């Protein structure tokens, strides 16, 4: 394990992102069955997860650690695999995702969801 990933801060952030991701996956599987409060909790968790991923991405991009650089490259490749333009920066992708989650929250709060 590289020095970057040995950091308690980095390991703690990864653990927190993993917990948020697991929660979001569980909620997403049954989204139509969730009540209003649980849906709101899901969108809040999803928003927090994306924000943390964006920060983590910035950290790996700024690191000189070879494993961190590899993770940054993997994220860049994932953007393309998920249909993003190869020139789209990962930070822009995170911002777009945050915007969409916030739109869904607004729809939920307005009571116009289907």
Kindly indicate the confidence band of residue 109, based on its pLDDT and cuts at 50, 70 and 90. Answer: very high
DSSP state at residue 53: H
pLDDT tens, position by position, 38-94: 999 999 999 999 999 999 999 999 999 999 999 999 988 888 887 778 888 888 889
pLDDT tens, position by position, 1-19: 788 999 999 999 999 999 9
What is the per-residue pLDDT for 4? 92
| pTM as predicted | 0.89
* Contact of 50 with 94, CB cutoff 8 Å: yes
**Rounded Cα–Cα distance for residues 40 and 103 (Å):** 12
Q: Among residues of the chain, what percentage have pLDDT more than 90?
A: 76
What is the per-residue pLDDT for 114? 54
**Rounded Cα–Cα distance for residues 45 and 70 (Å):** 27
């Amino acid at each position: 394990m590289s020095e970057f990933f040995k950091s308690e801060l980095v390991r703690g952030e990864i653990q927190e992102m993993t917990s948020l991701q697991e929660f979001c996956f569980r909620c997403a599987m049954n989204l139509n069955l969730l009540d209003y409060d649980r849906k709101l909790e899901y969108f809040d968790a999803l928003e927090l997860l994306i924000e943390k991923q964006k920060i983590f991405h910035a950290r790996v991009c700024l690191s000189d650690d070879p494993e961190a650089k590899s993770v940054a490259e993997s994220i860049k490749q994932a953007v393309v695999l998920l249909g993003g333009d190869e020139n789209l920066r990962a930070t822009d992708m995170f911002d777009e995702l945050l915007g969409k989650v916030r739109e869904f929250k607004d729809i939920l709060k307005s009571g116009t969801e289907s």
